[in-house]
Amino acid sequence: MYKFLKYEKNENIGILTIDRQEALNALNSAVITELEQAIGEVEADKELGALIITGAGRSFVAGADIGEQYPLDVAGGRKWGQRGSALMRRIEKLGIPTIAAVNGFALGGGCELALACDIILASEKAKFGQPEVGLGITPGFSGTQRLPRRVGLGKAKELIFSGKMIKAPEAKEIGLVNAVYAPEELMNGAIEMAKSFTKNAPIAVKYAKACIDRGMQMDIDDGIALENELFAMCYATKDQKEGMGAFLEKRPAKFENQ
């Protein structure tokens, strides 16, 4: 179905692998088209509980394709940036937890793709950066917005203004990455973390994600009001009765996403 992607399911966990290894998985129009299609598939799958995004070979995504961007004019640059940003926003707004399993280079658009995920896990070989200013452009797939929200204003400005590349340990130190793994353990770690999410009530996880993501863009009073409302809505679900009933009966819960 896909030329540059592999999409598979491990029980209720989706694993999306970008596979354009001859270009270090760089994002060109063809890859973005396939990603748009794959995210549509994820959005439509009501059984899916989590999504892992990774790269094949020695790169996660080494950036957006420079050869394709070079001839663009202002209108073309605007269209390219809007398309990439819209894709990242769709990933960010998925109702399920998303994990970027970064196995190698995550530069430019690759770093922005990782930032669109809820959690970033890194191989010891991973390297991160937003090197766009060295090419005469700014980050274009929302990196100027998500990086400071993830690591803070000062560190984001340092990374974006310098265009420097950082290794996995520093990425973890600044809060960009949740955990660092030996290369051969990265996917196992990502799957285990995904399972720690999917064992819980799916609607509650979805609402918790919405509370955090939407609440971070509000003042605290509006954020608390949002949490109060989604907390209350949990009591309309069968999973709330199952979760609390299982606790009281001292048995494992069996959630049905209802």
Enzyme catalytic residues: 112, 132
Using alpha carbons, select from 190, 180, 185 the residue that is nearest to residue 52: 190
Q: Assess contact for 164 and 172: CB atoms under 8 A.
A: no
- Helix ranges (H only) for 74-219 are 74-92, 109-115, 143-151, 153-162, 168-173, 186-198, 202-215
Q: Count of alpha carbons within 13 Å of 173, Cβ hemisphere only? A: 6
Burial tier of 43 (Cβ tally within 10 Å: 0-12, 13-18, 19+):
middle
Strands across the sheet with 165-167, in order?
59-61, 105-107, 127-129, 165-167
Specify the 3-state DSSP secondary structure of 141. Answer: coil
Q: Assess contact for 115 and 91: CB atoms under 8 A.
A: no
User: CB within 8 A of 17, min separation 6: which ones?
Assistant: 5, 6, 7, 53, 54, 55, 56
Specify the 3-state DSSP secondary structure of 57. Answer: coil
Q: How many CB atoms lie within 10 A of CB 91?
A: 20
